[in-house]
Amino acid sequence: MQAQTKDPDLYSVIDADNVAWLHFNKRDSSANVLSAAVLEAFYAELLRLTEMAPRGLVLLSDKANGFIAGADVHEFARLENRDQALAAIQRGQEVFDRLAALPFPSVALIHGFCLGGGLEMALACRYRIARDDAATRLGLPEVRLGIHPGFGGSARLVPLVGAPRAMDLMLSGRSIDARRARGMGIVDYALPERHLQEAARRLILEPPPPRRATRLQRLSNHPWARPALASLFRRQVGKKARPEHYPAPYALIDLWREHGDDPRAMMHAEAESVADLIVNPTAQNLIRAFQLQEALKALGRDSSFRPRHVHVVGAGIMGGDIAAWCALRGMQVTLSDQSPERIAPAIKRAAALFKAKLKRPQPIQAAMDRLMPDHRGLGVARADVVIEAIFEDAQAKRELYRRIEPQMQSHALLATNTSSLPLQQLREGLQRPGRLIGLHFFNPVAKMQLVEIVRDEHSDETCVSQAIGFTRRIDRLPLPVSSTPGFLINRILMPYLLEAVELETEGIPASEIDRQALAFGMPMGPIKLADTVGLDICLHVAEILSVHLETDVPQRLRDLVARGRLGRKSGHGFYRYNKGKAVKQKLPRGYQSDAGIMDRMLLRLLNEVVACLREGVVADTDQLDAGMIYGTGFAPFRGGPCHYIRSIGADILYQKLQAFEQSHGRRFRPDTGWDEMAGFTRRDQETEHPC
């Protein structure tokens, strides 16, 4: 065996059986991605190998974390126009066509991540083998970035597994494990590490006929079947994404319906469609959101903190779910509360979470075993991280810290999940006051990726960096914010919610308010959100925040709470609930929708965004946007609120605020921070958005 090439990103080795093993190992990177440079190097290598005429070619990765994680998203973001995009995509297709047309058998030997362009490359091979373990994930997540597969993925996957399975994978963007991929027919074998090399060698030395879809699966691709299936797919996608917000999945369905039985035409259409999509603001904003997420992840990169044991005090919804999440992510967890009764419901929720996420019995049991109900609080003394998640009472929290701090290890992080109390009030009485950091998780913990890292000028920097490192260890996104009332997310959300309540008080139907928010791209309407959180909790937070924000709490909210209408949990809030589901309200006959509704809610939100930036609650606009997208689900395809201000124009929004101040009062008074937003004036003239 000898290394035959010296490209910095890949090399091939020809073994004694004359089988070529092409190793991807991108320089200066922990993962393999298909940058333009890598693609070109790969192409050159394919040409060279073709001339050498080996018995076959095996593609594999030297990276521990996976095969190929996809195309280079950062290159997408730099594309300047449609032509450039189209050229890049067509070049990628050419390279993979060359791979598919090799005169000898080819095998993709997959481990870890095999996503997007990585899977498309594997699909261009004659055979695929995936390592059967928890780390291996295959998928085509392009729709999550506002595009769809462009390197021949759809053209190759449909004939391989039939339209229903192929389209489901591409439209959902979800990833699957090796066994599922084997079951679906995407890979030929799902094997443990010990058989991978031998299996690849055998496929090349004794090549079986390549796998293709079954007769029934092929039928789904028939011209007569496609229109009906296409409308079924549209309906399924419609449940999750609106075409005006997320055009990519719909474009994919259309091009399949059109060209599904003609792979050449499909490739061509794929490239044109992706080129259209990628220069569209939706894709650019989703790519931006992805990059913002990567930036938050990078905050914890330098942390050497390796916590193994987390102790959570308080087994309520938040505490219990934080504990379960930590156990799911491999931490040893102790969960304490005053009595076993209080802990038991959290164990039930944890079991449900583990079942949903882990599926197989052994990992579920291992996760359950890592989560120890601990009504005596034994875990405090052994924990690397102690998270307090008891009720929002400063006195009670201080007493708790006083009791547990002396038991804690000296290196251990002490964190509070408070959503409203400033650290200043809580750290009083601690032996090391600077060690208390806020780790503010959002509900539901397993869904909301963001964790606010709350600190102030008295915080110990080591502890802040530990908190960030810990947040990454449990695969959440850390967002450093200052310890001011409401921190960042709740503070920005609150005026928006309160304005929704004002609107409702003025007689706008709740369902109309929510409809407009959904149309803007919010994941849930504000009225429904308030009902879901609980109106008593909303009122509590609003009252704390209103002092600081110098705003009024709508009387309507107080009235509802006083009447016991607390939202979904009491069966009646703004909406009435039947078995936990909101009863649909009918709009009054002849009701005319008012486009100004969303403007009012959004402007108050944006005004608070500007105030937070001015006060330095968060480091910069990028972090703020990331926080709103991953903490609240703020329409990701709009790229975050700051980006939205930029796209509409700060000057225009400022004028609107002034107008609203005239008509609706001082709650719309523009924050003085708008003066600093001069760089956010509008770049172009298109206005399809509200505001």
Partner 1 sequence: MAERVNPLATGRPVYLVDGRRTPFLRARGVPGPFHAADLAFQAARTLLYQQPFTPDQFDQVILGCVMPGADEANIARIVALRLGCGEKTPAWTVQRNCASGLQALDSAAQEIASGRSDLVLAGGVEAMSHAPLLFSEAMARWLGRFNQSRGAAAKLRSALAFRPTLLQPVVALLRGLTDPVVGLNMGQTAEVLAHRFAISREHMDGFALRSHQRLAAAQDEGHLDEIEPVYDFNGGHYAADDGLRRDTTMEKLARLKPVFDKPFGKITAGNSAQITDGAAWLVLASENAVERHGLGVLGRVRDSQWAGVDPRQMGLGPVHAMAPIMTRNGLDSTDINYWEINEAFAAQVQACLSAWADADYCRQELGLAQAFAPIDEQRLNIDGGGISLGHPVGASGARIVLHLANTLKRTGARRGLASLCIGGGQGGAMLIEGVD
Residues that bind partner 1 (rule: CB under 8 A) add up to a total of 20
Using CB under 8 A, pick the residue from 170, 372, 445, 650 that binds partner 1. 372
Q: Is 571 exposed, middle or buried (0-12, 13-18, 19+ CB in 10 A)?
A: middle
Dist. CA 436–CA 458, nearest whole Å: 10
Nearer to partner 1, 275 or 350 (CB): 350
Q: Is 619 in the site for partner 1 (CB under 8 A)?
A: no
CB of 340 to partner 1, least distance (A): 4
Using CB under 8 A, pick the residue from 211, 234, 242, 375 that binds partner 1. 375
Q: Is 405 in the site for partner 1 (CB under 8 A)?
A: no
439 three-state secondary structure: strand
Q: Is 376 in the site for partner 1 (CB under 8 A)?
A: yes
What is the distance, to the nearest Å, from the Cα of residue 408 to the centroid of all Cα atoms in its chain? 34
Using CB under 8 A, pick the residue from 13, 37, 44, 378 that binds partner 1. 378
Q: Is 373 in the site for partner 1 (CB under 8 A)?
A: yes
Q: Per-residue string for binding with partner 1, 288-327, x by CB under 8 A?
A: ----------------------------------------
Q: Is 383 in the site for partner 1 (CB under 8 A)?
A: no
Dist. CA 666–CA 424, nearest whole Å: 30
Q: Per-residue string for binding with partner 1, 342-361, x by CB under 8 A?
A: -xxx-xx--x----------
Using CB under 8 A, pick the residue from 30, 65, 214, 365 that binds partner 1. 365
Nearer to partner 1, 376 or 584 (CB): 376
Q: Is 369 in the site for partner 1 (CB under 8 A)?
A: yes
Q: Is 382 in the site for partner 1 (CB under 8 A)?
A: yes
108 three-state secondary structure: strand
Q: Any idea which residues carry the catalytic annotation?
A: 120, 142
In this structure, are strands 577-578 and 581-582 parallel, antiparallel, or unpaired?
A: antiparallel
544 three-state secondary structure: helix
Dist. CA 120–CA 323, nearest whole Å: 38
Q: Is 374 in the site for partner 1 (CB under 8 A)?
A: yes
The kind and range of the H/E element at 494 are helix 489-505
* Spatial CA neighbour of 670 closest among 681, 661, 682, 683: 661
φ/ψ of 178, rounded to 5, equals: -60, -40
Dist. CA 482–CA 488, nearest whole Å: 8
Q: Is 81 exposed, middle or buried (0-12, 13-18, 19+ CB in 10 A)?
A: exposed
Q: Is 446 in the site for partner 1 (CB under 8 A)?
A: no
Encoding tokens for residue 66?
């996976």
Residue written as token pair 């093993």: 21
Q: Is 341 in the site for partner 1 (CB under 8 A)?
A: yes
Contact predicate 629/618, CB 8 Å? no
CB of 327 to partner 1, least distance (A): 13
Which DSSP state fits 209? P
CB of 673 to partner 1, least distance (A): 48
Query: Which one of 54-62, 214-222, 232-240, 373-381 is the stretch in contact with partner 1 (CB under 8 A)?
Result: 373-381
Query: Which one of 79-87, 234-242, 298-306, 366-374 is the stretch in contact with partner 1 (CB under 8 A)?
Result: 366-374
Binding residues for partner 1 (CB under 8 A): 334, 340-341, 343-345, 347-348, 351, 365, 368-369, 372-376, 378-379, 382
